[in-house]
Amino acid sequence: MASNIRSGGSQLAKCREIISMSLVEKIDAYCVKEGITVKEFERRCKIANATVHKWRVGLNQPSLKTIVKISEATGTELGAWV
């Protein structure tokens, strides 16, 4: 039973980690899963080149309109990206 509690705790920690991922981390994970580059991701989502890089280094932050574009282009619920 103790091992179930421990594994349950680690599953909860993993869920919290996924929930707390930044948008850029979620984009990186999506790109790995899809086997595409960030540049291709930006193209598919119709967002400007280097936009994700600007978010990554803190030069800019995404607008809700941009996150909606990402959601629509990827076929992923909006809530998955925020």
Q: Per the structure, how many domains does the chain have?
A: 1
Q: What is the pLDDT of residue 76?
A: 93
For residue 67, give the CATH number of its domain: 1.10.260.40
Predicted confidence (pLDDT) at residue 54 exceeds the cutoff of 90: yes
Q: Report yes or no on 6 lying in a domain.
A: no
Separation of CA 65 from chain center = 16
Predicted confidence (pLDDT) at residue 50 exceeds the cutoff of 90: yes
Q: What is the mean pLDDT of residues 52-59?
A: 92
Report, in angstroms and rounded to the nearest whole number, the Rg of the chain calculated over CA atoms: 15
Q: What is the pLDDT of residue 2?
A: 47
Q: What is the pLDDT of residue 46?
A: 96
What DSSP letter does each residue of 18-44 carry, written as one string?
HHT--HHHHHHHHHHHHT--HHHHHHH
Q: Report yes or no on 45 lying in a domain.
A: yes
One-letter amino acid for residue 11 of the chain? Q
Q: Which domain holds residue 65?
A: 23-80
Q: Report yes or no on 61 lying in a domain.
A: yes
